[in-house]
Amino acid sequence: MKHKKVFQPITLLLSLFVLTCLLSCERDDICASATPTTPHLIVRFYDIDDRSETKTVRRMVVKEENTSKFIVDDKTLDSIVLPLRIDVLDNLNTTRFEIKRDIDFETDSDPNTVSNTDILEVTYTPELIYVSRACGYKSIFNDVIASRDSDPNNWIIDVEVINTTINNENAAHINIYH
């Protein structure tokens, strides 16, 4: 009998410990897929003669300058989504994109078109915004400025910044007229 009385407090303490451990567990922190993350730059292409009409860019290739990875590869589109690089937070950053139209591969060249590359330069100040414990931080981009490098044969005629703050992907941030 005495042996049974010794194990009762130990069993009670062990049960309380297990119960306490189970009650102190938190739910898993998983970032919902609908939670907004760092937005991309959205660029729309418009007709230079009718600035309200979108205009596709034929056989377009887009990549960040001095890289070999294509963001857009041989597509005919009237808008593109571009990632912005973050080098330094809360300071001016610049990302340069090579946008080439009418690409001509040797296997499928069209003698009536000549490919042409223009450089789009986007300058901005990235800022970290706390989203939640599960999702962490996202970046937004403030004070956006965009321009094109001039050359004797530009196909991009004008660049217009529509939103100087990139904090979502709901609408275009930059319009390019060609």
Going from N- to C-terminal start, the domains of the chain cover 41-177
Residue 63, pLDDT > 60, answer: yes
**Do residues 115 and 104 lie in contact, with contact meaning Cβ atoms separated by under 8 Å?**
yes
Amino acid 34: pLDDT: 87
How much is the pLDDT for 17?
Answer: 73
What's the token pair of residue 40?
A: 């991309």
Report the pLDDT averaged over residues 11-25.
69
Higher pLDDT, 13 or 152: 152
**Phi first, then psi: what are they for 17, rounded to 5°?**
-65, -45
Beta strands, E only, 6-115: 41-46, 57-64, 70-77, 79-82, 93-101
pLDDT band at 16 (very low <50, low <70, confident <90, very high): confident
* Residue pair 118/149 in contact by the 8 Å Cβ criterion: yes
Closest CA to 71 of 110, 120, 22: 120
User: What is the per-residue pLDDT across 65-117, written as a single tens digit (0 to 9) for each?
Assistant: 999 999 999 999 999 999 999 999 999 999 999 999 998 755 445 555 678 99
DSSP letter, residue 11: H
Cβ density class 6-29: b for 16+ within 10 Å, e for less: eeeeeeeeeeeeeeeeeeeeeeee
Q: With contact defined as beta carbons under 8 Å apart, do 161 and 121 qualify? A: no
- Give yes or no for a contact between 60 and 77, defined as CB atoms under 8 angstroms apart: yes
- Residue 23 confidence (pLDDT): 66
The predicted-structure confidence for 119-156, as pLDDT tens digits, reads as follows: 999 999 999 999 988 899 999 999 999 999 999 999 99
